[in-house]
Amino acid sequence: MSLADKVLAVNDDLPIRTDKPVHSGKVRSVYWLTEADSRRLIQEKGYNVRPDAPLAIMVISDRISAFDCIWHGEQGLQGVPGKGAALNAISNHWFKLFKDNGLADSHILDIPHPFVWIVQKAKPVKIEAICRQYITGSMWRAYQKGERNFCGIELPEGLNKDQKLPELLMTPSTKGILKGILNVPEVDDVNITRQDIQDNYQAFNFKSSEDIQLYEKLLSEGFAVISQALAELDQVFVDTKFEFGYVEDVNGTEKLIYMDEVGTPDSSRIWDGPAYREGKIVENSKEGFRQLLLNHFPDPDILLNKDRMNEREALARDNALPVEVLMDVSNTYVAIAEKITGQALNLSDNPKAEIIEILKRDYGLVD
C-alpha cells in the first residue's frame, strides 16, 4: 500500500444515508442525517439532546489548508498522513478537559472512529474568537507597520516580536460575510472590535448582549485550561481560535457551547518551551508549514495579499510539494497529539473502509 493510500483526502463521498447535500469545508465534511435516523440514534444512544434535534456525521480528512488554499504533494499525496486523526484526538482531549473543569459543552455527542464525530446542529456565532498571549503573526506584521490599535485594543510601544503580551488579548474577526453593519466591511475574516459586537450582537447571532460576556468568559477560561495543560508539557500556548454556537439540551433550553475544533495545531500556535527560552521558535503547529510556504515560493506577497487570491490558488493547484515537506508536517502533528494525549496515535491503513464498517454495524447509517 502506497503512502497516498493511507491519506483520507476525499471525505465527501461516503455512503452515509442522508437526504441533504454533503457540506464539505477545507478539512471536514458534514453529512446531515435524516430526521428518522436522528430520532433513532438519540433514543438508542441516549444523547442529551431534544428528541427531534438534527444530528450530523462530521468526517475529518487529512487535507492541509494554509492561506485559504488546499495544498498537495508529489507521488499523488493529497494530504498529510495522520493529520486528521491528530486533530480529532487533540480536540477530543481538550473538550473532555473543559467538561472536567466545568466549562461549556461542545457540539460533539459521540466519537465512533478517530476520524468521525456525531454532532448536534448548532446555531453558530458569526465570530472567529481569537485569543493572543504573544505578539506574532498578523499582529506583529501590523505592529511593525506602526499600527497600535488592534481590534479596538491599544498596544503599548516597545514590544518585540514573539514576546509575551502584558495580558491575554481577544482579537475577534468575522466568520463569513456580514452585511449592513456599520464599520464592518462586507468581507470574510475582517478584524472587529468588542464595541462592534456589542452594538450589533444580533447580527453576530448572539441571543442577548449578556452572552457577549459569557463568550469572553468561555474564551479566556478555555485558553487558560489549555495553556496550563501545555505548560505542564513545557509547551507554550501562543494564540488560538475558538468558535461558539447555540444548541438546545434535552429540555429545550438554549445554551452557548464550544464548536468546531479547539487547541489544535490547525487553529493555534504552539511553541516548544525549551527552545523559546533559548530565544528560538520551534513550531508545533501549522505555522511551521505556513512559514515554509512563505520561504518556498519566490514571491511571498502572493500568500499574504488577499488581492492576489487567483495567483495564490494557481500556486497551490500547480505546485506539488516535496513528500518530505508533508511528512515533516505529519511528524509535527502526530508528535504534538501524542504529547498532549499521552497516548500513541494509531494510524489506519484504510480509514474510509473502517468508517463505513463502523457506521453500518454500530449506527445503522449505511445501507
Which pLDDT band holds residue 34 (cuts at 50, 70, 90)? Answer: very high
Q: Mind listing the pLDDT tens digit for each residue in 278-308?
A: 999 999 999 999 999 999 999 999 999 989 9
Q: What is the pLDDT of residue 44?
A: 97
pLDDT band of 53, cuts 50, 70, 90: very high
Q: What share of the chain is helix, strand, coil (3-state, %, to 5)?
A: 35, 25, 40
Q: What is the pLDDT of residue 1?
A: 65
Is 80 a residue whose pLDDT tops 90?
yes
Q: Which residues pair with 64 in a beta bridge?
A: 71
Decide if pLDDT at 2 tops 80.
no
pLDDT band at 5 (very low <50, low <70, confident <90, very high): confident
Q: Which tens digit of pLDDT belongs to each residue from 143-197?
A: 999 999 999 999 999 999 999 999 999 999 999 888 888 888 888 888 999 999 9
* pLDDT value of position 3: 81
- Residue from 132, 191, 128, 190 nearest 162 by CA: 132
**What is the rounded average pLDDT for all residues in the chain?**
95
Phi/psi for 260 (5° steps) reads 65, -135
Q: Tens digits of per-residue pLDDT, 320-331?
A: 999 999 999 999
- The pLDDT assigned to 306 comes to 87
Q: What mean pLDDT do residues 213-223 have?
A: 96
- The proportion of the chain whose per-residue pLDDT surpasses 90, expressed as a percent, equals 90
CA angle 205, 33, 266 (to 5 degrees): 55
* pLDDT at position 319 over 90: yes
Residue 118: is it exposed, middle or buried by C-beta count within 10 angstroms (0-12/13-18/19+)? buried
Q: What's the pLDDT at 346?
A: 86
pLDDT at 337 over 90: yes
Annotated domain spans of the chain: 3-122+344-361, 123-277
From 146, 205, 144, select the one nearest 172 (Cα to Cα).
205
Whether the CB-CB separation of 48 and 249 falls below 8 Å is answered with yes
| Contact assessment for residue 73 and residue 92, using Cβ atoms and an 8 Å cutoff | no
CATH number of this structure's domain 123-277, picked from the four choices 1.10.645.10, 3.30.470.20, 1.10.150.530, 3.20.20.140: 3.30.470.20
Fold exhibited by the domain 3-122+344-361: Phosphorylase Kinase; domain 1 (3.30.200)
